[in-house]
Amino acid sequence: MATEVEAQITGSVWKIEKGVGDAVQEGDVLIILESMKMEIPVEAPCAGRVSEIRVQEGASVEEGAVLVVIA
Amino acid sequence: MFRRVLIANRGEIARRVIRACRGLGIETVAVHSEADATAPHVRDADVAFAIGPAPARESYLKVEALLGALRASGADAVHPGYGFLSENAAFARAVGAAGATWIGPSPEAIAQMGDKAKARRLMLEAGVPVVPGSAVVPDEEAAVAVARNLGFPIMIKASAGGGGIGMVPCETEADLRKGFSSAVARARAAFADGAVYLERLVHGARHIEIQIVADCQGATAHLFERECSVQRRHQKVLEEAPSPAVDEALRRELGAAAVQAARAIGYYNVGTVEFLLGPDRKFFFMEMNTRLQVEHPVTEMTTGIDLVELQLRLAAGEALPFTQSELRQSGHAIELRVYAEDPAKNFLPSPGTITKLRWPEATDVRVDAGVVEGSKVTPFYDPLLAKMIVHGRDRAQCIAKARAVVGATTIEGLKTNLPVHGMVLDDPAFQRGEITISYLGALMQRQRGH
């Protein structure tokens, strides 16, 4: 069952911390968003393996946009 | 006096500077990014220039674009506001080279205070007390050796830093070893300079700062203190003047130290010397902000002096229109910073469109706002929407008025930190003046615990 990890806020992608194929634990930081001069970490909601990264560093994202898929 | 001033900023501070210029009959030039084309500060100004795309790096931080607007506008002076390029010595120098006046101190003074490790050394030499700490430490082993001498807990700080960015607190040697390399990496990423130094953490300290004013002829005075201890993640949230912890004798000492600091670097225009004040009334120089502060209105409301008008007059070469002995603090003022952030979601920024906006209307209340009803608050810039400043005859009355102001404010369409202000103003410890720089963090944690 794949889990889609969404942006909790509108902003831009500052850093991508994990790559496709990486194993992650619940709470691991996947991506760091930047909004209003703050860095906002996006954490893995569950353990699994990163199967897809749908954004690039520097991209603008809306709240609710899918950033990463964990399988 | 200047004929036309370009304001290299946006939001509430750009509007504040425009108001002061109007009062002196000076024309105003706004600059804006693509995201701010219809922003209030653009509408307020006499003319406006687009300087680039939404991200600040490509607009408000882009020196070439600003110099282009300066040339095209024919402005004869630049007011940098706060943040962005306001403490960028190279930009200040470039403005001068373009034949315009920088409304602020000399580029040399900006550079001296911008290098935090160097500023520490200068202040030590000038006899101003500084937080026990080090010069720049080259590596982890050197840091550990220095920290053993200083005693834990300590703070790693970026030499080129400011605004709380790149600060890493370390309770133990293990923390220091763990945090050192990432502190260097973060300093390099944020400031293109990985130099860090160490400072002892002063427990139970307050953040007290002194407003400095100085003319180009060498006259220097201070406009008393501001209490800025109510902070979250090293960002000020609520400021007041005077400080409930500062009596007349301490005020004189703090003021004298701040004037000494300013004189040591030949400072002119307005600036702020920040101190940590310990529970034992010992105080230490932290840094000097070589620009106008966000919280300048609490000083204006208690001294009756318009600091932005004064900046313009001083930059135009006028002498200070008062001496230290003529200055008085009157009553009490509190500033509430209104941020677009969601207290329920651990203060995540809350961009969005303001669908309804009602500011309080009362005597002794001033609202400096960067937004109007219908404004789109984008994720590109800092989350400060407005400042509400309240004046009262004493601290208790001022707190009561500020509480009423929070209740009389309506902001819909996005989340704000207004409920936090209500919580602070209602808190008996705050009302007793028992605040340190860890006060707000602890209060928020207690609230979450309930």
Question: How many residues in chain B?
Answer: 450
CATH number at residue B269: 3.30.470.20
Q: Does B382 touch chain A (CB under 8 A)?
A: yes
Asked if residue B418 lies in contact with residue B342, where contact means CB atoms within 8 angstroms, the answer is: no
- Domain coordinates in residue numbering, chain A: 3-70
Question: Does B396 reside within a domain?
Answer: yes
Give the distance from residue A12's alpha carbon to the nearest chain B alpha carbon, in angstroms: 8
Which backbone phi and psi does B202 adopt, to 5 degrees?
-95, 115
Quick one: which of B41, B64, B39 has its CA closest to B51? B64
Helices (H), B24-139: 40-44, 63-73, 89-97, 107-114, 116-125
Q: Does A71 touch chain B (CB under 8 A)?
A: no
Distance CA B186, CA B437 (A): 23
- pLDDT band at residue B190 under the 50/70/90 scheme: confident
Question: Does B119 reside within a domain?
Answer: no
* B positions 141-180 inside 8 Å of A (CB): none
Quick one: which of B152, B188, B153, B186 has its CA closest to B167? B186
The predicted-structure confidence for B192-229, as pLDDT tens digits, reads as follows: 888 999 999 888 999 999 999 999 999 999 999 999 99
Q: Are residues B215 and B190 in the same domain?
A: no
Q: Does A35 touch chain B (CB under 8 A)?
A: yes
Cis bond upstream, residue B242 (ω within 30): yes
Q: Are residues B164 and B216 in the same domain?
A: no
The predicted-structure confidence for B378-408, as pLDDT tens digits, reads as follows: 999 999 999 999 999 999 999 999 999 999 9
Strands B101-102 and A38-43: unpaired
Quick one: which of B237, B262, B291, B268 has its CA closest to B83? B291
The predicted-structure confidence for A23-69, as pLDDT tens digits, reads as follows: 999 999 999 998 887 888 899 999 999 999 999 998 999 889 999 99
* Residues in CB range of B95: below 8 A, 6 or more apart: B67, B70, B78, B101, B102
Question: Does B127 reside within a domain?
Answer: no
The predicted-structure confidence for B87-101, as pLDDT tens digits, reads as follows: 999 999 999 999 999
Asked if residue B302 lies in contact with residue B364, where contact means CB atoms within 8 angstroms, the answer is: no
Q: Do B379 and A11 touch (CB under 8 A)?
A: yes
pLDDT at B347: 87
Q: Are residues B9 and B80 in the same domain?
A: yes
Distance CA A9, CA B69 (A): 33
Asked if residue B298 lies in contact with residue B334, where contact means CB atoms within 8 angstroms, the answer is: yes
Give the distance from residue B351's alpha carbon to the nearest chain A alpha carbon, in angstroms: 7
Q: Do A37 and B341 touch (CB under 8 A)?
A: no
Kindly identify which residue of chain B lies nearest to residue A40, measuring between CA atoms. Answer: B348
Distance CA B438, CA B307 (A): 30
Distance CA B210, CA B223 (A): 7
pLDDT at B163: 61
* Residues in CB range of B4: below 8 A, 6 or more apart: B26, B27, B28, B29, B46, B73, B74, B75, B76, B77
Q: Are residues B304 and B218 in the same domain?
A: yes
* Domain stop point among B200, B229, B248: B200
Give the distance from residue B349's alpha carbon to the nearest chain A alpha carbon, in angstroms: 6
Q: Does A48 touch chain B (CB under 8 A)?
A: no
**What pTM was estimated for this model as a whole?**
0.91
Distance CA B340, CA B346 (A): 12
Q: Does A3 touch chain B (CB under 8 A)?
A: no
Q: Are residues B155 and B277 in the same domain?
A: no
CATH number at residue B71: 3.40.50.20
- Whole-angstrom CA distances from B93 to B14, B89, B99, B301 are 21, 6, 10, 33
Kindly identify which residue of chain B lies nearest to residue A61, measuring between CA atoms. Answer: B379
Q: Which domain holds residue B96?
A: 4-103
The predicted-structure confidence for B129-140, as pLDDT tens digits, reads as follows: 999 899 899 999
Strands A23-24 and A29-35: unpaired
Q: Does A11 touch chain B (CB under 8 A)?
A: yes
The predicted-structure confidence for B24-65, as pLDDT tens digits, reads as follows: 999 999 999 999 999 999 999 999 999 999 999 999 999 999
Instruction: State both tokens at A22.
Output: 């990486």
* Domain stop point among B151, B182, B200: B200
Question: Does B262 reside within a domain?
Answer: yes
**For chains A and B, what is the number of CB pairs under 8 angstroms?**
36
pLDDT at B187: 87
Quick one: which of B263, B161, B256, B159 has its CA closest to B217? B263
What ipTM does the predicted assembly reach?
0.73
For the cut 80, the answer to whether the pLDDT of residue B433 exceeds it is yes
Question: Does B116 reside within a domain?
Answer: no
The predicted-structure confidence for B75-129, as pLDDT tens digits, reads as follows: 999 999 999 999 999 999 999 999 999 999 999 999 999 988 889 999 999 999 9
Provide the number of structural domains found in chain B: 3
Q: Which residue has the tokens 């979601």?
A: B345
- Whole-angstrom CA distances from B142 to B148, B153, B158, B197, B200 are 10, 16, 16, 10, 15
Q: Do B379 and A8 touch (CB under 8 A)?
A: no
Q: Are residues B296 and B419 in the same domain?
A: yes
Q: Which residue has the tokens 């945090």?
A: B179
Render B202-269 in DSSP notation, one character per residue: -TT-EEEEEEEEE-TTS-EEEEEEEEEEEEETTEEEEEEES-TT--HHHHHHHHHHHHHHHHHTT--E
Pick the CATH number of A3-70 from 2.40.30.30, 2.40.50.100, 1.10.730.10, 2.60.120.10: 2.40.50.100
Q: Are residues B153 and B223 in the same domain?
A: no
Question: Does B295 reside within a domain?
Answer: yes
Q: Do B349 and A11 touch (CB under 8 A)?
A: yes
Asked if residue B218 lies in contact with residue B318, where contact means CB atoms within 8 angstroms, the answer is: no
The predicted-structure confidence for B401-412, as pLDDT tens digits, reads as follows: 999 999 999 999
Q: Do B345 and A8 touch (CB under 8 A)?
A: yes
Asked if residue B168 lies in contact with residue B127, where contact means CB atoms within 8 angstroms, the answer is: no
Q: Do B349 and A9 touch (CB under 8 A)?
A: yes
Q: Are residues B267 and B355 in the same domain?
A: yes
Q: Do B349 and A35 touch (CB under 8 A)?
A: yes
Asked if residue B354 lies in contact with residue B412, where contact means CB atoms within 8 angstroms, the answer is: yes
How many Cβ atoms from other residues are within 10 Å of residue B137's Cβ? 23
pLDDT at B284: 96
Q: Are residues B149 and B39 in the same domain?
A: no
Render B108-125 in DSSP notation, one character per residue: HHHHHHHSHHHHHHHHHH
For the cut 70, the answer to whether the pLDDT of residue B164 exceeds it is no
For the cut 70, the answer to whether the pLDDT of residue B144 exceeds it is yes
pLDDT at B450: 60
| Separation of CA B187 from chain center | 20
Give the distance from residue B347's alpha carbon to the nearest chain A alpha carbon, in angstroms: 10
Kindly identify which residue of chain A lies nearest to residue B383, measuring between CA atoms. Answer: A36
Question: Does B122 reside within a domain?
Answer: no
Q: Are residues B184 and B324 in the same domain?
A: no
Q: Are residues B218 and B196 in the same domain?
A: no
Q: Are residues B214 and B181 in the same domain?
A: no
Asked if residue A71 lies in contact with residue A48, where contact means CB atoms within 8 angstroms, the answer is: yes
The predicted-structure confidence for B237-263, as pLDDT tens digits, reads as follows: 999 999 999 999 999 999 999 999 999
Question: How many residues in chain A?
Answer: 71
Mutation for testing the B interface, residue in A14, A36, A40 having most B CBs under 10 Å: A36
Distance CA B376, CA B353 (A): 4
Q: Which residue has the tokens 């009262």?
A: B392
List, by residue number, the catalytic residues of B: 291
Give the distance from residue A52's alpha carbon to the nearest chain B alpha carbon, in angstroms: 25
Kindly identify which residue of chain A lies nearest to residue B54, measuring between CA atoms. Answer: A60
- Whole-angstrom CA distances from A35 to A62, A63, B352 are 11, 11, 12
pLDDT at B168: 87
Q: Does B345 touch chain A (CB under 8 A)?
A: yes
Q: Does B340 touch chain A (CB under 8 A)?
A: yes
Q: Does B203 touch chain A (CB under 8 A)?
A: no
